[in-house]
Amino acid sequence: MQPARIAVVWALFSVCLPLLAAQQGERVKVAEGEYRVTAEGDLGVGPMETEIFHFRESWTLWRVQSGEYEVEGERNFESPRDYVRNNRFVARLTHDLQLIEVKEFRQLRFRPDSGPLTCELLLHNLRCSSAAKDPAHAVDVDVTMDRPYGLIWPLSAFSLGSLTRAASQHIGEPVRIQVVQLQEISEAVAVLPIRSDGFLKYLGQRDTPYAISNQSWRPYVYELEASPIRKLVIWRSPEGIVLSVERPNWPKGQMQLVRFAKFSDF
């Protein structure tokens, strides 16, 4: 190859290499895992008068250049029994894993041309919208929130983990919170947000390690109590990953992190 041509190729390579490195550096794969409801029943957080069976949520966590995190995942469950649902979702989280946006790539039950459903968890408002081919079928929801809050349906461990950030650092001290369920009611009310008040308590950090997939943590433990779910006990890693969610009272239910792999520090 002639020297002049070599110089041109090298110049192009020198320009493209930093761009390629920047593109590769846009997202860093941090972790991946899978949640499953493993106990007797569901967690009591699904659609009204409908149980959730065989729930599992697989996910991958990425860190982006801004320092925030992105989650790509898929939920699989039956509701009602033998009616299989597969819902892909993506979520945005802050640097300390507080949920700020979630998008579900699914059609609404009473809006067949809708989707995806996007919810923004703002400081004082929960805003959800779903576009549709027919603008008349579009859905917009805006709920005023006056306390720290979390989405409990659609169910996501990342929403519950985010909510634990609102707990007091003093063991046993209750903090007022709110939880929201998005219910699909009818053609007239495609999405109805149901807001409930409750309390969140920090129960302390456990000395006994919690181990999954060759990873071990001393978990922080929280108690969440609100009318639609009664009581949940949440075990969370120091970084903010939910390890287990248990409803200790009848009817019992438990969601556990059954698979976890870490590729980079949080």
3-state secondary structure 27-90: EEEEEEEEEEECCCECCCCCCCCCCCEEEEEEEEEEEECCCCEEEEEEEEEECCCCCEEEEEEE
Element holding 226 (H helix, E strand)? strand 220-226
Measure the CA–CA gap between 204 and 201, rounded to whole angstroms.
9
Over range 10-33, report the average pLDDT.
Answer: 61
**Of 79-83, 108-112, 160-164, 240-244, where does mean pLDDT reach its minimum?**
79-83
Q: 3-class SS at 9?
A: helix
Higher pLDDT, 112 or 119: 119
Nearest to 249 by CA among 238, 233, 262, 263: 233
**Amino acid 10: pLDDT:** 44
Over range 48-56, report the average pLDDT.
Answer: 67
Residue 145, number of CB atoms within 10 A of its CB: 17
**Of 58-62, 172-176, 210-214, where does mean pLDDT reach its minimum?**
210-214
Nearest to 33 by CA among 244, 258, 263: 258
The answer to whether residue 22 scores a pLDDT higher than 60 is no
Residue 12's pLDDT band (cuts 50, 70, 90) = very low
- Which burial class, exposed, middle or buried, applies to 25 when counting CB atoms under 10 A from its CB (0-12, 13-18, 19+)? exposed
**Of 4-13, 123-132, 190-199, where does mean pLDDT reach its minimum?**
4-13
The answer to whether residue 3 scores a pLDDT higher than 70 is no
**Amino acid 112: pLDDT:** 86
Every domain of the chain and the residues it spans: 27-260
Percentage of the chain with pLDDT > 70? 82
Structure letter (DSSP) for residue 166: G
Residue 40's pLDDT band (cuts 50, 70, 90) = low
**Amino acid 21: pLDDT:** 38
**Amino acid 93: pLDDT:** 97
The answer to whether residue 218 scores a pLDDT higher than 90 is yes
The answer to whether residue 78 scores a pLDDT higher than 50 is yes
Residue 5's pLDDT band (cuts 50, 70, 90) = low
Total H helices, total E strands in the chain = 2, 17
> What pLDDT digit, counting tens, does each position of 81-103 carry?
666 677 899 999 999 999 999 99
**Amino acid 18: pLDDT:** 39
Q: Are 101 and 69 in contact (CB under 8 A)?
A: no
The answer to whether residue 204 scores a pLDDT higher than 90 is yes
Predicted TM-score of the model (pTM): 0.84
Report for 29-33, 41-45, 129-133: range of highest mean pLDDT? 29-33
Q: Report CA 237 to chain centroid distance, whole Å.
A: 15
Residue 265, number of CB atoms within 10 A of its CB: 9
Measure the CA–CA gap between 183 and 252, rounded to whole angstroms.
22
